[in-house]
Amino acid sequence: MSSAIEEILWAEKYRPRSLKDMVNQEEIVKRLMKFVEEKNMPHLLFAGPPGTGKTTAALALSYDLYGEEWRKYVLELNASDERGIGVIRTKVKEFSRSKLPGHVPFKIVLLDEADNMTADAQQALRRLMEMYADNTRFILIANYPSKIIEPIQSRCAVFRFTPLRKEDVIARLKWICEQEKCTYDEEALEVIYEIGGGDLRRAINILQAAAALGHITISTVYKVVGLAHPREVREIIKLALNGKFVEARERLRNLMVNYGLSGTDVLKQMHREIFSADLPLPEEMRVIIADYIGEIQFRIVEGADDEIQLSALLARLALLGRRYNIKL
């Protein structure tokens, strides 16, 4: 893969410039397009999981409103870096109070990661949103809107973004592979989607890392994300349930060394596998194992030793398999 793939996250040629180029968030795009047609809009709050198009939607809205020179009319700040009251009272205030000639009667202040703003900064911002509403509209972007104070939320029209659909994510990954002339297995792209969980940004990062190893396969995907192949995790669970505790424990130790996994990483994968159709277990056993995993995960988070706790989990699985006479 060429070095150009490093531009995938940031270069405008890979990011939709206009709202009409966005996919998946159809209802949101329809409402935003109405603002573009009317050349008017309220303050906006974009909320939702990471990698679902919140920042892209804000930039695309700005482009559709102002055209090629949209950067003159938009002040873009990342509130996780510039999140104090000083920035609100200086940079944001100075930008908001000035007027610029143009066919759109307002400018835009774009505050990314607004849920990281301090309480004082949010209190200062609520006043600016009232004072300069004639000149300026604010777009706040937050993964956790509950961290935005209620007075600001009440001043904004809220747009809630949802995780992207599987077909849209995979279609975008295929398009990137075509642009960069990468070869891939169809199943590998599906695995990337599953790991990303609807977060396109994370999916593209995984794609880039996997492509650096050559042909993109399921094995290379799991290798670059630092996860074990599900088949190996299933084998460990099966060995334990079949009463082969020592062998299961040895396999688990090798797995953690080879992939550099932590105890919580292993538990998350085991939790996913016990609900997989590839592991034929009665529902009652799935419930009991899920309870075991939850207890072990709590112990590890509280500071218990990973290896000892995972061995205890495998021991419980071995006893459970003997009680139910499981043969997998």
Greatest Cα pair distance in the chain? 79
Q: What is the mean pLDDT of residues 296-318?
A: 93
Query: What was the pLDDT predicted at 250?
Result: 93
Strands, E, within 55-106: which ranges?
74-78
Edge-to-edge strands, sheet with 136-142: 74-78, 107-112, 136-142, 43-47, 156-160
pLDDT of 8 above 60: no
Binning pLDDT at 50, 70 and 90, where does residue 83 land? low
Query: What was the pLDDT predicted at 280?
Result: 84
Query: What was the pLDDT predicted at 84?
Result: 65
- Which H or E run includes 136? strand 136-142
Question: What percentage of the chain has pLDDT greater than the value 90?
Answer: 26
Domains of the chain from N-terminus onward: 25-160 (3.40.50.300), 166-225 (1.10.8.60), 230-324 (1.20.272.10)
Q: Are strands 43-47 and 74-78 parallel, antiparallel or unpaired?
A: unpaired
Q: Which of residues 101 and 45 earns the better pLDDT score?
A: 45
Query: What was the pLDDT predicted at 69?
Result: 83
Closest CA to 164 of 195, 189, 193, 198: 198
Binning pLDDT at 50, 70 and 90, where does residue 82 land? low
- Which H or E run includes 280? none
pLDDT of 292 above 90: yes
